[in-house]
Structure 1
Amino acid sequence: MNRLSRLGVVLVAGGTVALTASPAWAHAGGTAPDDDAGWVPIEELRPGFYDPVDISACGTTVTLATGDVADVEGRETTLPDGDLLFETRGEQTADLTRQDTGEVIDELDISGSLSELIAADGLHSVSHLYGPSVVFPIPEFGPVDAAAFEAAGLPDLGYFREGVITFTVVLDPETGEFASEDIDVDARVVDLCTWFDGDRGQAHGHDHGDHG
């Protein structure tokens, strides 16, 4: 998935953020499900899931658009303690286009799943994003998000085939803005900007953990 697949974090009025979900699709009771119950096409949960995204990276704007494969499902489960578990699964590809040169990374596999646990108070979340996925700072999340990327040694437009990146977010209850964010990287993340230069698959990555 791409990082905007962290669907528990949504924009609300005034440019702040809140951790929320879609109550109409939340499945109540029980522990985290491990069966096939409750999965729906992702666009039923988030109608704009497949929309293009403009990313500030590579000294320009890079547009990430859904490729030929778009078969993602989502599920939301309300746990007994009131926490909400959001999950995605399926297959997806993306086309990334540099706006300055028109160069394209075509049909990039971003089929990695997402598991996000949102606390009942709506102010805490832990998100596990699995490869293959794209990651990038999101301007609407503010300077805390950008600083967390820098602290984790992540590029402005990163990609990993295997492994997992975990985002732990706490919101300020007064402002709704990010109060803190910690990013734990257990994956080899490459800088996609180098792939526009014809170095796709070469060793321009950031090593974390044992993934190669």
Structure 2
Amino acid sequence: MNRLARLGAVLVAGGTMALTASPAGAHPAAAAPGDDAGWVPIEELRPGYYDPIDISACGTTVTMTTGDVADIEGRETPLPDGGLLFEVRGDVTVDLTRHDTGQVIDELDVSGPYTEQVSADGTQIVGAYHAPSILFPYPELGPVDAAAFEAAGIPDLAYVEKGVVTFDLVIDPDTGEAVTEEADVDGRIIDLCTWFDGDRGQAHGHAYAYADHR
């Protein structure tokens, strides 16, 4: 997953994502899923993709900014049932800065590919985020999103080191918030709050939790 994975769910929840693929990233529905047609720079589909974002985590606010690597592509594919498949691939790193201490996690690789499938009416989103990825709850999705993280054992600032995490959300079209949400973890999840002390990748005994909720 990239630095703003799960962004599609938030855009749908806010009513700002059209379910018809834009011409720039349009991918013929009849084309093979693994082909290279239709991929465009991510900014053409999500203009604010590389913008900084503030995350409530680690007992403070953590700002995430794009690192030295930013080479992401996206693709939108209309589905036969009227839904939309959004795919992302490429390479990207991020920097994470704590507001309370100024500590930084520098050049974190979050280049894992991901997909988001949106129903025709925009009320259901299924997203699969592959390692290496960063995950955190979105306030725009309301308390159900945070509760899904807690139920699946996912920290508020999580790093998917191995495997994949899948979210299945149902959105209230009137409020834009998640009505129901389930998270399925099949891999190794690290609490990034434990990495700000400089022991990145060293203190595995307490730095990650393994979960498999299939």
TM-score (normalised: structure 2): 0.89
Residue 17 of structure 1: aligned partner: 14
| Structure 1 Cα separation of the partners of residues 177 and 58 of structure 2 | 27
| Structure 1 Cα separation of the partners of residues 211 and 120 of structure 2 | 31
Residue 208 of structure 1: aligned partner: 211
Q: Where in structure 1 are there 5+ consecutive unaligned residues? A: none
Aligned CA distance change for structure 1 residues 170 and 95 (closer, same or farther; 3 Å): same
Contact 1:19 1:125 (8 Å CA) reproduced: no
Contact 2:82 2:119 (8 Å CA) reproduced: yes
Q: Secondary structure at 2:34's aligned position in 1?
A: coil
The offset of 1:9, in angstroms, is 2.1
% identity of equivalent residues: 64
| Structure 2 Cα separation of the partners of residues 27 and 182 of structure 1 | 29
Residues 101-116 of structure 1: matches in 2 within 5 Å? Answer: 101-116=101-116
Question: Hey, which bits of structure 1, 4+ residues long, moved more than 6 A?
Answer: none
Aligned: 1:5 with 2:2: no
Residue 156 of structure 2: aligned partner: 156
Q: Deviations over 1:103-144 (max 9, x none)?
A: 111101000011111111211111000010111111111101
Residues 23-102 of structure 1: matches in 2 within 5 Å? Answer: 23-24=22-23, 25-30=25-30, 33-102=33-102
Contact 1:162 1:187 (8 Å CA) reproduced: yes
Over the residues paired in the alignment, what is the CA RMSD in angstroms? 2.0
Aligned CA distance change for structure 1 residues 37 and 31 (closer, same or farther; 3 Å): closer
| Structure 2 Cα separation of the partners of residues 146 and 209 of structure 1 | 19
Q: Secondary structure at 2:47's aligned position in 1?
A: coil
Q: Deviations over 1:143-176 (max 9, x none)?
A: 0101111111111111022210001000124433
| Structure 2 Cα separation of the partners of residues 208 and 94 of structure 1 | 24
Q: Where in structure 2 are there 5+ consecutive unaligned residues? A: none
The offset of 1:8, in angstroms, is 2.4
Aligned CA distance change for structure 1 residues 100 and 174 (closer, same or farther; 3 Å): closer
